[in-house]
Amino acid sequence: MSEYRHSTDPGGEGLRELLGVGKGDLVSLVGGGGKTTCLFRLAGELAAAGVAVAATTTTKIMAPTDQVGVRLICGGSYEALCRALEPPPGPVPVLGLGVMPNGKLEGIAPQWCDRLLGDGAVEALLVEADGARRKPLKAPGSREPVVPDGTTVFVVLVGLSCMGRTLDDSEVFRADRVAAVAGQPLGTPITAETVARLLLSEDGLLRGRPGVAKTVVFLNQADLPGARAAGEAVARKIIAGPTPFDRVILGSLQAAAPALELWYRV
């Protein structure tokens, strides 16, 4: 743990500062327990700071038809999306191929994400690159996540509401994969060790991470009863040895100040 500094008072930093995101960044969000909330909160902060930011997905998310401060842009080609981005800045653009009958937004190809930033169509791009079916914890399937090669910031989310619950499909997305990666039987309680093993495994929540990307984990829902202590236990386990995480954030994406505690590499 000597490589890390621990702050129990991160101050009033917003999500943008906590994640270290600004102009030129392509942010990929994976895991469970808050990706979409993180996506739109971060987009709003960047837009307020004068950054021409857009949000999208490489999988599928619920179309943000009622989301304040965003505008949905759908196009069947890369060129169509770029043309739609040309009008003056306003609500944050959310990009997709189209809205499916089930109300979900069909995502764009990861190569388009790289091009949008490289061509200067946007100054920052936020990508929900994983699905979790609204579960707080997951392990990726064989084709997940769908992370653009140009990702500069890789954010892994875990919802601490999973702690102490049963490792099964009612609480976890792809529970069988979580069990395999964590090395524990289905039907047993989810512990700090379960989550730490999942976070540190290249077959777990690190899958798809570009090696050059800044890597951050956000342990969300720390405002729930008992969750802060559980999150601290997870954080200390993942920084106790070799780890790829540049930052570990413990907090709540629903709170005005999202971070309760912060561990960062020095």
For helices 192-200 and 175-182, the axis angle rounded to 10 degrees is: 90
φ and ψ at residue 251, rounded to 5 degrees: 180, -155
- What pLDDT score does 2 carry? 54
User: Which residues of the chain are modeled with pLDDT < 70?
Assistant: 1-2
Three-state SS string across 69-110, please? CEEEEECCCHHHHHHHCCCCCCCEEEEECEECCCCEEECCCH
- What pLDDT score does 66 carry? 81
CA 128/CA 58 separation, integer angstroms: 7
- What pLDDT score does 199 carry? 98
Structure tokens at 113: 């994400």
- What pLDDT score does 1 carry? 47
DSSP 8-state symbol, 160: G
SS3 230: helix
- 3-state DSSP percent of the chain in helix, strand and coil, to 5: 25, 25, 50
- What pLDDT score does 87 carry? 74
pTM of the model as a whole? 0.96
- Residue 160's CB is within 10 A of a number of other CB atoms, namely 27
* Distances 238 to 16, 128, 158 between C-alpha atoms, Å: 23, 23, 13
- What pLDDT score does 240 carry? 93
- What pLDDT score does 86 carry? 81
